[in-house]
Amino acid sequence: MTGQRVSGGLALSEDAVFADFANRVELSGAVVAEIGGSVAAETTEQHGVACWHAVDPNRPAYTAESGRYRVLRARAEELPLPDASVDAVFSSNAFQFLDVASTLAQARRVLRPGGLLYAHFGPIWSAIDGHQLEYVRYQGRDLVFWRDTLLPPWAHLAYERDELAELLADALPAELAELLLWHVHDSDTVNRLFFEDYVSAALDSGLRWVEVTASAQLDYLISAPFDPSALREVTEEELTAQWTRRRGRPTQVGIRDVLMVLQRPD
């Protein structure tokens, strides 16, 4: 399993992620499928792509006047593109929300021989903030995990439902507490995959392993509104042992962001 590195050296901004992708793939004249659809049409045209397919179920379908940029309102697990029709698949901050095995199968189908899949994503479920509080609205505003630090560290991995419910009820309005509890324990927004699950999906995908890099770096301060004495003391070693027992296979916690680079064999 060569190529796997755990480090803090991953790009953090979407601009830096795209720049790394552009350094690896010759974009001039290329056909690219983007899973998540966050790259601006102007950026793709500046790089001279032949066609950029932005695949996103939450955006309306659209085709630019040039015909070289298209928004496809579809799920990544059901890419509406012909077999062997794209030179590269790009994704930034989307894989933690997807059925990864199905998405990789679609990527393998649409990639031309030798084509590259580049996916950068996180925080994943194994992270200290792997609950990823997003796509949740409260009082007319979308909550986001790096700004609305309303959950204790490791809320989704260290606290049982009743314990978390009691902690939230003591610190937050009832409606907000119930919403956060639902997000952590009932929502299917995040796919709840640990790092090892992504590795297994990559190895089983039929794509060639080029690089899988991971980072545990947290780039913001978690300042949850709780009495510190009410919070559980949590160590990664204890959680690793706990989740290894629960899952019946080695499971590491702490990994937050992942870069996955795979290639369709020639």
Tens place of pLDDT for every residue, the chain, 266 residues?
333 333 446 777 888 999 999 999 999 999 999 999 789 999 999 999 999 999 999 999 999 999 999 999 999 999 999 999 999 999 999 999 999 999 999 999 999 999 999 999 999 999 999 999 999 999 999 999 999 999 999 999 999 999 999 999 999 999 999 999 999 999 999 999 999 999 999 999 999 999 999 999 998 999 989 888 889 899 999 999 999 999 999 999 999 999 999 999 98
With a CB cutoff of 8 Å and minimum separation 6, the contacts of 148 are: 133
Burial class (CB in 10 A: 0-12, 13-18, 19+), 116: buried
Amino acid at 112: R
Place of tokens 């939450």: 58
H/E element holding 118?
Answer: strand 111-121
